[in-house]
């Protein structure tokens, strides 16, 4: 029983990590990533894995994970792992 629970937890954790990595790589690959707009970055993150609606919390835009923080002009300034 314990092995089954551990395996399930490991599988869920692995899938969440895979989705986070996919989103992070998609953000990096946005054309002109340094000058990409907030919308472009969010769309790239959404397209990289299961499309989730973004929500804002504590100054970050969360689309699953990672959390994205933008400056006043809409440029990405920080990426935060929510774990």
Most confident of 2-11, 18-27, 69-78: 69-78
Question: Is the pLDDT at 25 greater than 80, yes or no?
Answer: no
Rounded CA gap, 15 and 19, in Å?
Answer: 6
Arithmetic mean of pLDDT over the chain: 80
Region 52-64: what's the mean pLDDT?
88
Q: Are 62 and 55 in contact (CB under 8 A)?
A: yes
Burial 72-83 (b: 16+ CB within 10 A, else e): eeeebeebeeee
């Amino acid at each position: 029983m314990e092995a089954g629970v551990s395996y399930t937890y490991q599988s869920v954790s692995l899938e969440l990590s895979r989705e986070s990595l996919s989103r992070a790589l998609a953000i990096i690959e946005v054309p002109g990533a340094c000058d990409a707009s907030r919308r472009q970055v969010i769309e790239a993150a959404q397209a990289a894995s299961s499309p989730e609606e973004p929500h804002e919390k504590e100054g970050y835009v969360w689309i699953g994970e990672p959390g994205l923080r933008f400056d006043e002009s809409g440029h990405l300034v920080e990426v935060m792992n929510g774990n």
